[in-house]
Structure 1
């Protein structure tokens, strides 16, 4: 797990993907690349471009390898902001060190480094990537270090985040606060901080709590009440936000317009004045 701080001093707790999950994603991608190369060479062979001219065959092979082994991850990670098919299947994503989505330049650096250093070129079929990842705190390979990226797990079990309860002494105060301006990313950071508070060192918990409280106070114009611990202040804000969201959803469901029911047709009765048929 990696604790990173963005430019807004908001904790970004990201579960770093370890070797096993990255290896699974890599194996799936290699399988896709293998079959892509196989189909490519079969098509070129059927077209008569492979097997006749040695120079043409070498050039075609080199171009095909570069397009598939470099182009595939670069294109996929650029279009999906950090995923290949293998990473998507394994629930992984490549992000910047500040937690933001990667762009073409990040994907290009990772792709080139993967081809020449991490896996193929001088990578000894992935040995370099494995050794460097094991020695890195955030499981980064050479391409990640050069591009300023890391691979994280997107699929996090919901039970990993503990529910937040309203501190009873602050229940009345919280109802007077305008919590609608609390953005989702800051609310998530607070929830993660409160859920892991017992795991943090006292100094780290103090510093991080003060940063989050300052961010909340600035956004909501709601300073910390006197003699109130920072964790309780943050818990009150978050619990009140959740309560109002639940109340709003309940109200919307109650007042949702019902579909008009078709009018019932009156029962048919024989007309006594109708001529006999």
Structure 2
């Protein structure tokens, strides 16, 4: 699918649908690159230490050690970045730390060609110049692209953090007995939604606002609750919400059971 860049944070697809994307900022991009660079140097240093140890044991001669040093550099600074990015689909240790992922300009997943170009030029702009060229190009481009990104046609896209799953309210233990005889079926759906929204956002309110809103909602809900429990406003609202959700779940379960029973009956007929 072809795509055109609408602006710095938006991609326009072939169907003219704007997709909101955000590139990783320059500071975070530099921090991620520094982590990757230190990791590469650490792996290379590990190879060299092993070679020195083998030299002291007489297992290797100096000529073989020099050849292995070249191979160690190739593996640490070229093969390793390619392998990691291909295995993680555009992520590396540094990108995981800053919440980024390498993607194509059109937002698609990178291939081996993109990764190879980035890693090959990364040897020059990151390791040989100690990040000098990468810093200059990153500071001058809109998406903080280094030289390898410009040639390969890629950039680092911010990976959005998934929203945390909201916890459902729990029935207060003091109202367990009341819940067995309570009737909340007459409560309007609009009021029930307002109560649910209040319970979700209650921790973000100031204590005074939380108490005030809780009392108002409890007073509105009281005429639709039978019997009204002897509890605080927020405890009562939590108990009512739990009972309504349990009633709705039971209704859905019964509906599914009826539908399944009818389908089985038709099959038998």
What range is the shorter-chain TM-score in? 0.5 to 0.7
Contact 1:6 1:99 survives alignment (8 Å):
no
Aligned position for 1:267: none
Describe how 1:1-277 pairs up with structure 2 within 5 A. Answer: 1-48=8-55, 53-116=61-124, 118-121=125-128, 124-155=129-160, 255=252
Contact 2:29 2:144 survives alignment (8 Å):
no
Distance in 2 between the 1:254 and 1:153 partners? 42
Distance in 2 between the 1:101 and 1:132 partners? 23
| Larger gyration radius, structure 1 or structure 2 | 2
Contact 1:16 1:138 survives alignment (8 Å):
yes
| Highest RCO, 1 vs 2 (Cα 8 Å, sep ≥ 6) | 1
Q: Pairwise CA RMSD of aligned residues?
A: 2.8
Distance in 2 between the 1:129 and 1:69 partners? 15
TM norm structure 2: 0.54
Contact 1:15 1:152 survives alignment (8 Å):
yes
Contact 1:12 1:99 survives alignment (8 Å):
no
Q: Secondary structure at the match of 2:55?
A: coil
- How many residues align? The count is 163
Question: Kindly tell me: are residues 49 and 97 of structure 1, through their superposed partners in 2, closer, same or farther at Cα, counting changes over 3 Å?
Answer: farther
Distance in 1 between the 2:76 and 2:40 partners? 6
Question: Kindly tell me: are residues 252 and 66 of structure 1, through their superposed partners in 2, closer, same or farther at Cα, counting changes over 3 Å?
Answer: farther
User: Gaps spanning 5+ residues in structure 1: where?
Assistant: 159-249, 258-277
TM norm structure 1: 0.52
User: Gaps spanning 5+ residues in structure 2: where?
Assistant: 1-7, 164-246, 255-269
Contact 1:49 1:57 survives alignment (8 Å):
no
